[in-house]
Structure 1
Amino acid sequence: MQTNQFPTLFQAKSLELIGNLIEVSGSAFFLVQPDMQHQGAYISNAPSDIEKSYTSTYFALDPLNPIHFKHTDIKVATLDSQLSQQELLQSRYYLEFMTQYQHRYVADIFFRNARNEIIAVISLLRVKAMGDFTAQEIQLLHSVHDFMEYSLNTVYLPKRETERNNLQDRYGLTDRELDVLEMLISGASNKEIARRIDMGIATLKTHLNHIYRKTSVQSRTELTARVLSEI
C-alpha cells in the first residue's frame, strides 16, 4: 500500500489491525461530521455500494447510529445489545439492509475528541455463521480503543487537516471545493457527492470544473493522480 494513499491510509491500517485481532467478514471506518453524517468512509471486504446504500436510506434506521451514543461514554456496542433478536429480525433495517449485504452481527467502535464528540466510528460485520462477538472479543476491542482514539486525534486528523491546507494553498481551492475533491479521490460518484454535501448536480459540476481549472487537469483520473503524487 502506498504511503501517500490519501486520505484513507490510517483507516485501512486500523481495519487491518482489528482484522488481525478478531474475525470479521467485513468492516468500515468512517468519520463523523458535527451533524452526525458520514464522511470519508473506507470499506474493507464489503460491497462497494454498501456505504452509499447505508447513508442514503438506512443510516437513520440503524440501532447503532452514532446519534444514539452522542451523550454517552460508550466505546464499543454490538447490534444485539441494542435490540432483542425478535425486534432486530423483524426490523426494516435487518430485512432490507442487513440481509441484502449478508451480515448478521455488528459491533461498532466509537471514537471521540477532547470535547467528547463522536468523530469517527469503526463498524465490524459478521455473517451469521461466525456468531456474535464474544465478551472476550469486546474486551479486546476496548483494549485497543484508547490508543486508536489517541492516534486519530493526534496524528491522523491533524495530518488530514495539513493535507487539506496544503492543497488549498497550492491550488487556491475553497473549503467546499476541498470537500468535493476529497470525496472524489475516495471514489464517490457525482450523485453521491452531491447528496452528501447537499447540493444540486449542476452546482457540483460547476465546482468540479473549477477544481479541474485550478489544478490544470481535465479528468477525475488525472486529478487523482496529480493530488496523490503531491501529498
Structure 2
Amino acid sequence: MVQPIPGTVVDQLLAAIRNLMPIAGASCYFVDEQGRPFGHRLNGLSREHLQEYRHDFCERDPFFPALHQPSGKDIVSLEDISSQRDTAGYLEGFLHRYGYCDEVEMFFRRSDGRIAMGVGMIRDERSGRFRTSELELIAKVKPFLQLTLAAYLNTNTEGMQWRTSSFASQLTTREVEVVEHLLGGASNREIANLCNVTVATVKAHFFNIFDKTGVTSRTELVARILTQ
C-alpha cells in the first residue's frame, strides 16, 4: 500500500497536534523513497495554500524531507535551519504572504531510519513564534506519536518503491498522485478535494491512466501496482 495510514487516522493525528498548543494550522504528508513529500492532508490550512506550495515552493522548502534525511533529527524549527540555509525566500515569499510567522516540522521514520512521514505546524502573528517550552512539549509527545504510527509506517513499505518502477514512469506527476490517493482508499470526490480539482477531472485522469497502462478497472490497476 502506497499510503499506509488511513485518512481518518491522519485527521485524528492533526487534530491532536492542534490541541497541544495554539497553531494556525497543520499539514501531514507522506515521503517517497527520494525524500519528496506527497499526499498532503490539511487541518486549518487552505487548498490554495497547498497548491501554491506544490507549484512554486516545494523544491525550495527548507523543510524538504530529503534535506533532513541524513541528519537524523526529527523535530526541526525554522530557527534551527536559518543559520544553515537561506530561508528568506521561503519565509517572505510564502509564509508571510499568508500571514504566518513560524513553522516547525516533525518527521516520522521507518525502522530503517528513512523519513516516511512528516507533519508541519504553522503559527501566525496572533500566537507568535514557537517558544522553547512549546518545542520541548513537541519533543516529549513525538516518541508517543512515533510508537503509535510505527505499525503503519513499517507495514508494506516495499509498496512505496512503486514510484520508481517502470509502471509509474508511464504516468505524469498528477496521475501518480491520483493513483496514490486511490491506493490510500480515497473515493473520486476525496481525490478531487485532495488534488484541488473537479470529480470530472479525476475521472479523466483515470481514463488516461487506464489507457497508458492497459488496465480496464481500478481493481486491476491496484493489483498491477501491488505485483510490481
Paired letter, 2:32? Q
* Structure-to-structure mapping, 1:1-231, within 5 angstroms: 7-83=6-82, 88=87, 91-155=88-152, 158=155, 178-179=179-180, 181=182, 182=184, 185-186=190-191, 187-189=193-195, 205-207=207-209, 214=217
Shift in Å at residue 42 of structure 1? 0.8
Shift in Å at residue 178 of structure 1? 4.2
Task: Assess, with a 3 A threshold, how the Cα gap between structure 1 residues 99 and 190 changes in structure 2: closer, same or farther.
Answer: closer
SS in 1 for 2:71: coil
RMSD of aligned C-alpha atoms?
A: 3.5
Task: Assess, with a 3 A threshold, how the Cα gap between structure 1 residues 34 and 159 changes in structure 2: closer, same or farther.
Answer: closer
- TM-score where L is the length of structure 1: 0.67
SS in 2 for 1:130: coil
Kindly, what percent of the aligned residue pairs are identical? Answer: 18
- TM-score where L is the length of structure 2: 0.68
In the alignment, the residues of structure 2 paired with residue 135 and residue 160 of structure 1 have an alpha-carbon distance, to the nearest angstrom, of 35
In the alignment, the residues of structure 1 paired with residue 133 and residue 52 of structure 2 have an alpha-carbon distance, to the nearest angstrom, of 32
In the alignment, the residues of structure 2 paired with residue 42 and residue 190 of structure 1 have an alpha-carbon distance, to the nearest angstrom, of 12
Shift in Å at residue 109 of structure 1? 0.5
Q: Which moved more, 1:142-151 or 1:92-101?
A: 92-101
User: RCO (CA 8 Å, sep 6+): is it higher in 1 or 2?
Assistant: 2
Task: Assess, with a 3 A threshold, how the Cα gap between structure 1 residues 77 and 34 changes in structure 2: closer, same or farther.
Answer: same
Task: Assess, with a 3 A threshold, how the Cα gap between structure 1 residues 119 and 136 changes in structure 2: closer, same or farther.
Answer: same
Task: Assess, with a 3 A threshold, how the Cα gap between structure 1 residues 204 and 101 changes in structure 2: closer, same or farther.
Answer: farther
Does the CA contact (< 8 Å) of 2:37 and 2:64 recur in 1? no
Give CA deviations for 1:15-58 in whole Å, capped at 9, x if unaligned: 11111111101110111111112222110011112222212220
Shift in Å at residue 103 of structure 1? 0.9
In the alignment, the residues of structure 1 paired with residue 105 and residue 181 of structure 2 have an alpha-carbon distance, to the nearest angstrom, of 27
In the alignment, the residues of structure 2 paired with residue 159 and residue 115 of structure 1 have an alpha-carbon distance, to the nearest angstrom, of 13
In the alignment, the residues of structure 2 paired with residue 112 and residue 10 of structure 1 have an alpha-carbon distance, to the nearest angstrom, of 17
Q: Which moved more, 1:152-161 or 1:102-111?
A: 152-161
Shift in Å at residue 82 of structure 1? 1.4
Equivalent residues, number: 186
In the alignment, the residues of structure 1 paired with residue 196 and residue 24 of structure 2 have an alpha-carbon distance, to the nearest angstrom, of 29
Paired letter, 2:39? G
Does the CA contact (< 8 Å) of 1:70 and 1:117 recur in 2? yes
Shift in Å at residue 213 of structure 1? 5.7
Shift in Å at residue 65 of structure 1? 1.6
5+ residue gaps, structure 2, are 160-175, 199-203, 220-228
Does the CA contact (< 8 Å) of 2:51 and 2:196 recur in 1? no
